[in-house]
Amino acid sequence: MISIVSCNKDKKNSLMENDLTNNPFLKESTLPYFAPDFIKIQNKHFKPALVEAMKQQSDAVNKIVKNTQKTTFDNTILALEKSGEMLDRVNNVFKSLTAAHTNDTLKKVETEIAPLAAKHYDEIYLNDKLFAKVKDIYTNRENLNLDAESYKLVENYYEKFTIAGANLSKEDKVKLKNINEQLASLSITFNQALLDANDAATVEIHDVKKLAGFSKEQIENIKDKTKENTWLLTITNTTQQSQLQNLEDRETRKQLFEAGWNRTNGGKYDTKQLVTKMVELRAQKSKLLGFDNFASWRLQNTMAKNPQAVLDLFSKLVPAATAKARKEIAEIQKMISSQGETFQLEPWDWNFYAEKVRKSKYNLDENEIKPYFELNSVLEKGVFYAAQKLYGITFKKRTDLPTYHEDVVTYELFEEDGTPLGLFYGDYYARSSKSGGAWMDNFVTQSTLYNKKPVIYNVMNIAKPANGEPTLLTYDEVETMFHEFGHALHGFFASQHYPSLSGTAVARDFVEFPSQFNEPWALNPEILQNYAVNYKTGAKIPQELITKIKNAGSFNQGYSLIEVLAASNLDMLWHTISSDTKITDVNKFETDALNSVQLLMIEIPTRYSSTYFSHIFSGDYYAGYYSYLWTEVLSHDAFDYFTEHGGLTRENGQRYRDMILSKGNTIELEKMYKDFRGSAPKIEPMIKARGLN
Ligand SMILES: [Zn+2]
């Protein structure tokens, strides 16, 4: 199928698509650290390279299967680990560009490759003969004299196969495949219904007075260009609608809130049947795979290990969250009265009056703090400085390496003794070719198997200022920059032999721990004094502003914790039903579920109601939405270790690096954490950090 053609001109066009001539992905990059050579890489290279890389992996797998010699670690597990080398090389660049700098060609390749990739991985993980060999090694792993990391690699591969259902009988495999196909199609239907429902739920306003509280600019932005005298209030994913913050007219607020709340509950875009079908199928799937419920199956290789551990954590958080929420309710009710109103607080009033409380209590003006948060200063004198203080590493800007966009900046990292550590790319500005949000990933994953050091990037969406103007950040953006670099450190300090166990390749309920842990350093006095300097005057940030930022951090935390706890519980309770449960009423299930965990609060509805909870019904956070809260607990508890032991010191940093950041996925995560902390994680530091105590 892959033909290298360099002569026949007529043939050339028809074969262009799969032409591998001069394809830079065929070989390792010759740049330092094997960094992607963006001068050579072009759009047309991706599809043929991806197809070729999958073919190479399939060939390698076939070779493993056909090998008639005695099954060994090397000819099975290690061969499998090595089989994806080219695929990783192409994929790492492909996924970076499709997310951070995409175009129509790349989008087309994405659509074309997705089904091929799904089929490709099925052919590996549902390959009976391959699994028989993996199982053989797994069963004998105690007797093979393996080093600890190789032992873990065996377990990891075995787990991947069994999670995919490799252990099932032929008959059950057919059943599983059937369930998986149904689930995949239901999740697409759910997503489409939700997108349509969001559109359909748009609230049309025909009297501009109803938009009182909006600025002129806001009103202009939401004007319907096709109709006279019409303004459109569009619906966002969550239960709370951000526009409620400004809408003075209570009726309009109620209308907007209810449009969001009911969007997929009854009517044309009702998703209740989809929800029912999906949770029932998932329960059946878990039974087929030998588990009591879907969440138990799903959590087997996480830090939490089982749903009970998660539900226990939630139940410990509820009292503190509820107590704070009650105080907030009282405060807001008081604010309502002070405005001469007599009504009882409803969910659609929350954002509007909470904003008034915020202004009166904290009076934090973004424009006042932004001059102290200039992008380069935050990055080099804040984020990098913190890493230097904690881990001894140093940074040197490089301008000689090609990047995929002129806004991308590049740094080389060095150990304390000058040994090169890796390359870092920062892509901070928003642009139309970039997806929303912020993220970290690898171009090159650390591994001693390939003798590779990490090449890592961070992406954010900061508005680019006019030419010659400085880039001034909000405090949220500063925190995000520390967060993403926390992920980067997890990748940089990886010290694994095998790439599939390296750095951030850990469970979902652990991977956000190093990133969240890195956030609070942004407010450490020593670090803050170093980077938060007024870009015009050179003055250090005044204490008064720091206090304001800190205080504002605890604002509305009762509300935000309750809404996330409610959604997290809903996710877990939907996925702990037994396989013979028949759901007859989705709304009743939701109400009963929230009631059973003391989270049914009129004023504070769940962040997502079941019928539009896309994380769990069309995304891949099913039985996994808890991860956000789980890692938040870990990060604050770990930060407390530092506070207890002298804070920002090399010694503390080294310990954390040695015991957490460098370990990748080589140790059972709960053990890894306890070894570092000396005890299981406690919730109190998080409660305190959120101002709930
Ligand atoms: Zn993150």
Predicted local confidence at residue 21, as pLDDT: 87
* Tens-place pLDDT, residues 84-116: 999 999 999 999 999 999 999 999 998 899 889
Cα(561) to centroid of ligand 1, in Å?
Answer: 18
In a domain, 155, yes or no: yes
Cα(387) to centroid of ligand 1, in Å?
Answer: 17
Cα–Cα distances in angstroms (integers) from residue 441 to residues 16, 345, 430, 490, in the given order: 31, 44, 17, 11
pLDDT band per the 50, 70, 90 thresholds, residue 232: very high
- The 3-state DSSP class for residue 345 equals coil
- Domain range holding 500? 369-552
In a domain, 47, yes or no: yes
The rounded distance, in Å, linking the Cα atoms of 313 and 306 is 12
Q: Work out the number of other CB atoms within 10 angstroms of the CB of residue 183.
A: 17
Residue 85 annotated to the active site: no
Q: Are 583 and 279 in contact (CB under 8 A)?
A: yes
Q: Are strands 409-414 and 439-444 parallel, antiparallel or unpaired?
A: unpaired
In a domain, 88, yes or no: yes
The rounded distance, in Å, linking the Cα atoms of 170 and 63 is 23
Cα(484) to centroid of ligand 1, in Å?
Answer: 6
- The 3-state DSSP class for residue 440 equals strand
In a domain, 666, yes or no: no
| Number of independent structural domains in the chain | 2
Cα(200) to centroid of ligand 1, in Å?
Answer: 32
Mean pLDDT across the stretch 134-158?
97
The rounded distance, in Å, linking the Cα atoms of 119 and 122 is 5
User: What's the chain's average pLDDT?
Assistant: 94
The rounded distance, in Å, linking the Cα atoms of 137 and 151 is 10
Q: Quick one: which H or E segment has residue 412?
A: strand 409-414
Answer with the one of 524, 552, 580 that is the final residue of a domain: 552
Dihedral-angle region of residue 621 (phi above 0 means left; psi in -120 to 50 means alpha; beta otherwise): alpha
Backbone angles phi, psi at 621, to 5 degrees: -100, 15
In a domain, 264, yes or no: no
Residue 10 confidence (pLDDT) above 80: no
* Tens-place pLDDT, residues 290-348: 999 999 999 999 999 999 999 999 999 999 999 999 999 999 999 999 999 999 999 99
Cα(417) to centroid of ligand 1, in Å?
Answer: 29
Non-local (6+) Cβ contacts of 386 within 8 A are 482, 518, 521, 522, 524, 527, 648
In a domain, 306, yes or no: no
Here the tokens at position 55 are 């073919």
Predicted local confidence at residue 577, as pLDDT: 97
- Residues 52, 81, 328, 484: which is the catalytic one? 484
Predicted local confidence at residue 16, as pLDDT: 55
Answer with the one of 167, 193, 218 that is the final residue of a domain: 167
Mean pLDDT across the stretch 514-520?
97
Cα(581) to centroid of ligand 1, in Å?
Answer: 35
3-state SS string over 110-161? HHHHHHHHHHHHHHHHCCHHHHHHHHHHHHCHHHCCCCHHHHHHHHHHHHHH
Mean pLDDT across the stretch 578-604?
96
3-state SS string over 273-299? HHHHHHHHHHHHHHHHCCCCCHHHHHC
Answer with the one of 140, 167, 194 that is the final residue of a domain: 167
Place of tokens 């009129």: 602
Q: Where are the alpha helices (DSSP H) in 449-542?
A: 475-492, 508-511, 513-518, 525-531
Cα(516) to centroid of ligand 1, in Å?
Answer: 7
In a domain, 322, yes or no: no
Read off the CATH number of the domain in which 462 is found.
1.10.1370.40
In a domain, 186, yes or no: no
pLDDT band per the 50, 70, 90 thresholds, residue 9: very low
Cα(156) to centroid of ligand 1, in Å?
Answer: 23
pLDDT band per the 50, 70, 90 thresholds, residue 8: very low
Cα(99) to centroid of ligand 1, in Å?
Answer: 15
